[in-house]
A and B are shown apart, each in its own frame.
Chain A
Amino acid sequence: MSAPELEIEGLSVSFGQGTQRIQAVQEASFVVERGASYGIIGESGSGKSTILRAVAGLNEDYSGSVRIDGQEAPRPRDKRFYKRVQMVFQDPYGSLHPRRMIRATLLEPLRIFGFDNADRRIRQVLEDVGLATHFAYRYPHQLSGGQRQRVAIARALLLEPEILLLDEPTSALDVSVQAGVLNLLDALRRDRCLTYVLVSHDLRVVAHMCSRVAVMTQGRIVEELSADALREQRSHDDYTRQLIAASRGRTPLDAVNGEGAARSDPRKDAVHAK
């Protein structure tokens, strides 16, 4: 039995100094097996995106350890790390350079890593994400949100990574487009044996995409359960039950009566997500 692909242990991230200090993530630990899809769910501000950014090396100021195949990820992250781990951002309107042609955006990683046959690879990856070849010659403002997100996924795939970090990949998209992008991600994972870490506030997305799910609130992972358990609402944690109930569009009586009612309504927060 080999070591799990991605191992997070005791990850803590805080922002600010002194009294302004905010503990965004506290002692988060989880393990993602090779080829698995791991979901992190929670209201906005619960620290789930912060975990992804710390893993990706966008925020190097964390404590704890991030291991890939049992090896500690270097700080700062090096090119070898990015060859294996790539990320798709939440907002497709912000993650593509507005003044660069799609082709230039896709060419960038190939140039940096010295890949050959750049044009063939770009054609292939565009085809893989369901875009016609001529999209390479457009600028981001000429594309719709769903098309942009497909380009962002294509960019992440170009380096043929093993692990893909997905930061709410569909939350900025229309509901009609969401399903297409999710199915694309699902198919890519199966075809390429990718390992996913998917962050979302949408329970249905996580239940659809992931085999194991961590529930986060206020910087802590409060529960980890399988997607089946999530669907069948077999949860032991108050907060998880509340979250499930909120996403089903009703508030259970026990949450109203119990102290859980004092907590913020996750559904409301989810709507306010950026």
Chain B
Amino acid sequence: MSIAQDHDRGGWRAWLETEQADSPGQARAQAVWRAWRGLARNRAAFAGLAVLVVLITVAILAPVLAPYPPYAQDLASRLLPPSFEHPLGTDDLGRDILSRILYGSRITLMMAALVAVIAGPLGLLVGATAGYLGGWVDVVAMRVVDVFLSFPSLILALAFVAALGPGIENAVIAIALSAWPPIARLARAEALTVRHSDYIAAARLQGASRFRIVVLHVMPICLPSVVIRITLNMAGIILTAAGLGFLGLGAQPPSPEWGAMLASGRQFMLTNWWLAATPGAAIMLVSLAFNLLGDGLRDVLDPRDD
């Protein structure tokens, strides 16, 4: 049985590592496999990835894992220290902190993912277009980026939320609006290095339109550094989201958002440390995991290593 399994695994490995790929699918799978091997060799990055995988699992399984409903108040058992019944204690309204942290991971991950999905493609498209086309397109796009970059991102997000009104959706939009300019700058720099390369000239000689060149030829070159940058930025995005929650401009109570939990636990910090310490530790752990993963991705995806 186990021998058959080993053989089967060997077959897959051979398929992934053979010199001659026989189909586009196999060639792509091999490229992914090589990247995966590179990532697995980097221990810190692997640890970051493991934490994130656990976090995503926890977020999906929160209703199963959480011992109590996140909103259930029990004023008789308020501000209890960590115990067997409440592993991370209870807060000032008697809600189980572990359950709230588990549910809070959903909000944090969703916000981070939404920001990445909005800011990444936007920054990539603007930057690659500006870098490749040059001329007045470049000037206009980069001046807009300059304006955005001249504000600290948290302050900018604050201003947007103040204008749009507090709430998770608006916080996501605000953070995305302050997160895309650095990505555009980065993508532009990458696009500038390749715009005069022979393979872009060759694409022009194949009759490719400008749009096609930007999307199919320039953007894939910018993509690795943008992915790295977003992963590294993810920590900042989570901190900004938590910061907005902390200031009361992100998720609204009673939603179990980590930043909001940290804010409400602040007044009990000296007497009941677990109220603020646990969401703080969760924020730190996730930020650290994203940073480690981003660092590892840089080693794996760095476009200059081949």
Which residues of A come within 8 Å of B, CB atoms? 56-58, 79, 82-83, 86-87, 89-91, 94-101, 103, 108-109, 112-113, 134, 137-139, 141, 152, 155-156, 159
Contacts and interface: CB of A to CB of B under 8 A. Distances in A.
B202 A152 contact: yes
Nearest to A141: B306
B204 A58 contact: yes
Contacts of B206: 82, 108-109, 112, 155, 159
Contacts of B23: 137
A113 B27 contact: no
A134 B207 contact: no
A56 B205 contact: yes
Given A94-B197, A99-B221, A138 B21 contact: yes
20 contacts: A56-B205, A57-B204, A57-B205, A89-B201, A94-B198, A95-B201, A97-B199, A97-B220, A98-B221, A98-B303, A101-B24, A108-B203, A109-B207, A112-B212, A134-B20, A137-B22, A137-B23, A139-B27, A152-B202, A159-B206
A58 B213 CA distance: 14
A172 to B, nearest CB: 11
Interface in B18-43: 20-24, 26-28, 31
Contacts of A155: 202, 206
Contacts of A58: 201, 204-205
B198 A134 contact: no
B207 A103 contact: no
Instruction: Kindly list the 10 A-B residue pairs having the minimum CB-CB distance in the complex, ordered from nearest.
Output: A137-B21, A137-B27, A95-B198, A109-B206, A94-B198, A79-B207, A97-B199, A89-B198, A82-B207, A99-B220
- Contact size range, B: 20 to 34
B202 A139 contact: no
Given A108-B208, A138-B27, A89 B202 contact: yes
A127 B31 CA distance: 25
B217 interface: yes
A56 to B, nearest CB: 6
Interface of B: 20-24, 26-28, 31, 197-199, 201-208, 212, 216-217, 220-221, 303, 306
A87 B205 contact: yes
A89 B205 CA distance: 11
Nearest to B202: A95
Contacts of A91: 198
Nearest to A134: B20
B31 A137 contact: no
B220 A100 contact: yes
A79 B208 CA distance: 9
Given A56-B205, A134-B22, A97 B31 contact: no
A224 B188 CA distance: 45
Contact of B199 (A56, A94, A113, A156): A94
Contacts of B201: 58, 89, 95
A83 B31 CA distance: 33
B217 A97 contact: yes
A112 B212 CA distance: 10
A96 B27 contact: no
Nearest to A94: B198
B205 A112 contact: no
A174 B147 CA distance: 51
